[in-house]
Structure 1
Amino acid sequence: MIAVDVATVELSGRRVTADDEAKRRLAYLLSRSLAEEGISEDLIDTLEEAFADRPGCAARSRKLDGLLIRLGLPVRRLRPPRVAPLSEDAVKRITDRFRRATRQLLQVVPHRVTLYPIEELCILLALRDEQPDPDEALPYLRRYALAILALLDLMGDDE
């Protein structure tokens, strides 16, 4: 037997208003407009991959912390967690995806914003042309992802 709470019963008995239908239609059309312009879920997944934390080796010993606490000494200060570097294949794949998105954004953005975003597009073009060192690949990809997100935000498709 399935347990149904009161809120579910109230929502299931509520009629769909014209306002609800308009919101659903608008959400559908916005997602279609992004897909038609080539900004797909694949780009969103790639952006999330660039920002994902990949924990490296643990830099903190719990035994030592426990010993310090028992002796009444302060615990060592935490260093920022290490992030495992991306593989060369992942860097190449993400960079290629971001460069394709840059070409698409250059064509789409002028038609989707009221004021032409000169500064944001200049940053995006500079990042597209940059060739980072392998040890600087992750910060570079994160800067590139932030530049893409800034333009997507200006387009207003995530509202």
Structure 2
Amino acid sequence: MGTLLFGLRHFLASEAIDDQLWDDLEAVLGEFAPAAPHETADFTMRLRPAITGLVEIVQYDVRPYPVRQMRRLIFLSAEHPPPDGVRGHLNRFAMAILAVLDLLGDAA
């Protein structure tokens, strides 16, 4: 039963945490991060769907449940900043995703 549970958790993690998510996080936080406002909006829209998968995975894999980190992640995913605050919001959002991925450890 433990092996089956491990396999299911690994499958859930691989569905939510794919190469595209890592590429997007690198593009947002990396050395060559986008400067144009339309690019930041595109990245925000691409990162939002990952939240559902992360919420699913964290509830099974992280003990104790990281209420503060998950609350911040969910809040940031629902926020719609004004045009002059999009870049800062995207950085905070990406950092919140990374914080949750760090909690997952090897599952991520």
TM-score after normalising by structure 2? 0.78
Larger radius of gyration: 1
Displacement over 3 Å in runs of 4+: none
For structure 1, list consecutive stretches of 5 or more residues without a partner in the other structure.
Answer: 1-28, 55-82
- Counterpart selection for 1:102 from 34, 37, 51: 51
TM-score after normalising by structure 1? 0.55
- Quote the RMSD (CA, aligned, Å): 2.2
Select the structure that is richer in helix: 2
Is the aligned partner of 1:116 residue 2:94?
Answer: no
Give the secondary-structure state (helix, strand or coil) at the position aligned to 2:45. helix
Shift of 1:158: 6.9
CA deviation digits over 1:52-103, x for unaligned, max 9? Answer: 344xxxxxxxxxxxxxxxxxxxxxxxxxxxx873241x22321122210111
For structure 2, list consecutive stretches of 5 or more residues without a partner in the other structure.
Answer: 1-6
Identity of aligned residues (%): 33
CA deviation digits over 1:30-62, x for unaligned, max 9? Answer: xx6542x321010001001111344xxxxxxxx
Partners of 1:50 and 1:138 within 8 A in 2: no
Higher relative contact order (CA 8 A, sep 6+): 2
Partners of 1:99 and 1:128 within 8 A in 2: yes
Trace 1:45-64 onto structure 2 (pairs within 5 A).
45-54=23-32
